[in-house]
Amino acid sequence: MRFIKPYVLLVIAGIFLLLGYVYFSFFSERLNRCTDVVAVTPWLAPIVWEGTFDAVLIDNIYKPMNLTVATTVFAVGKYVRFLQDFLETAEKHFMVGFHVRYYVFTDRPHDVPSVNLSQGRHLSVIQVPGSNRWQEISARRMEIIQTTIERQIRGEADYIFCLDVDSKFHAHWGSESLGRLVAVIHPGYYEQTRDRFPYERRPASTAYIPMDEGDYYYGGAMIGGFVEDVYTLAKVCRTRFEEDAGNSIEAAWQEESHLNRYLLDNKPSKVLSPEYLWQDFKAKTKEVKVIRFSGVIKNYADVRPNV
C-alpha cells in the first residue's frame, strides 16, 4: 500500500482547514444556539463536540485519501479480559470504512480473542513483558510505542491512536478526530479550573507544571495524530520519565503527567471533547450529547497486580 508523505498530508490538511474555517463560520451561529460548550481553544484549535461537525461530509473528504490508521492497545496481565469488547465495539464504531491496523501489546498472546475484522482491517499481536506494578506498565507504554513506531508502524500507517484497552466504543468515531497532534480532555476535569488539575506539582520532576500554568487536563487513555508527531511525543515523554527515574522521582500520574507537560509546550492541533473519553460510572451531563468511547467499570483490586 502506498502511504501519503507527511508534508503532503500537511498541505491537504491546510486546504481542509481553510474550508473548515468557512464551514465553521457558517455553522457557528447554529452551534451557539444549540450548545453551551466551547468549540475552539485559545490557540484556535478545534474542540470536537457533537454538533460541531458533519460526520458524513468529513469522512467523504478523507476516505478517498486511502489512509491507514494505526491503533495501539495494551492488554497486559488480567487486562486482556477487556480486549474482546474493545475490538468488537471498535469494529462497529471506530474509523469505519478506513484501513485500520490494530497493534495489541500483551504478555498473554494465547489469550487474545479471535474477532471478525472488516475488510482492510488487520490485527498484530506483539508480546511484551508483564509487571508486578501497574505503574511500570503505564510508564513503559511510551517506550514501547516509540520503538514499535520505529520498527513497524511508520511503514504501515499515516495516523495513529493510542488507546486504553479497558474501554469500549458506543458511537461514531471517525475522521473528525484526525489531526497532526490530537489530545482528549479528561472527563473528570473538564468542568474544573486549572488549579484543580492533578498535574505534577513537584519542581524536581520533568513533568512539573506550576499552579498558574496549564490549558486543559488531558487524559492519557487517548493520544493521536500523525505517526511522526506521536513518535516525537512518545520519545520525549520516555526520555523525561527516564530522567525522573534516575533522580528517584515518579510523576504523580506516570505517563499522563508527562503527556500533560508535553502538550502544554506543544499545543495539540485538535482537541477531542470528553465524548471521546467518558467514564461509565459517570452520569452523562448536559454538555455531553453522545458518549463515543468510555472506560468500563471495573474492580481495580481484581485486575491490577498492585493497587
Closest CA to 173 of 105, 246, 71: 71
Domain that holds residue 96: 40-303
Active site residue: 176, 255, 256, 275, which one? 256
Residues 228 and 257 in one domain: yes
pLDDT in tens, 196-232: 999 999 999 999 999 999 999 999 999 999 999 999 9
pLDDT higher than threshold 50 for residue 12: yes
Higher pLDDT, 141 or 263: 263
Q: Cβ neighbours of residue 208 under 8 Å, at least 6 residues apart? A: 199, 200, 201, 202, 261
Contact 254, 139 (CB under 8 A): yes
Q: Tell whether 80 is in a known binding site.
A: no
Q: Tell whether 171 is in a known binding site.
A: no
Q: Tell whether 75 is in a known binding site.
A: yes
pLDDT at 140: 81
Residues 78 and 96 in one domain: yes
pLDDT at 215: 96
Residues 21 and 71 in one domain: no
pLDDT at 8: 59
Residues 17 and 90 in one domain: no
> Long-range contact list for 275-284, CB < 8 A, 24+ apart?
275/48, 275/49, 275/50, 276/48, 276/173, 276/177, 276/184, 276/222, 277/167, 277/184, 277/185, 277/186, 277/187, 277/219, 277/221, 277/222, 278/187, 279/187, 279/188, 282/187, 282/188
Q: Tell whether 281 is in a known binding site.
A: no
pLDDT in tens, 245-293: 999 999 999 899 999 999 999 999 999 999 999 998 888 888 999 999 9
Q: Tell whether 76 is in a known binding site.
A: yes
pLDDT at 35: 53
Residues 10 and 71 in one domain: no
Quote the pTM value.
0.86
What is the CATH classification number for the domain harbouring 157? 3.90.550.10
Contact 185, 272 (CB under 8 A): yes
Residues 125 and 265 in one domain: yes
Q: Tell whether 165 is in a known binding site.
A: yes
Residues 3 and 90 in one domain: no
Place of cell 481553510: 18
Closest CA to 188 of 48, 96, 288, 60: 288
Indicate if 50 belongs to the active site. Answer: no
Residues 164 and 63 in one domain: yes
CA distance 195 to 159: 33
Q: Tell whether 111 is in a known binding site.
A: no
Residues 243 and 196 in one domain: yes
Residues 28 and 167 in one domain: no
CA distance 230 to 242: 18
CA distance 227 to 159: 5
Residues 175 and 198 in one domain: yes
In this prediction, residue 36 has a pLDDT band, given cuts at 50, 70 and 90, of: confident
Residues 25 and 139 in one domain: no
Contact 246, 191 (CB under 8 A): no
Q: Number of folded domains in the chain?
A: 2
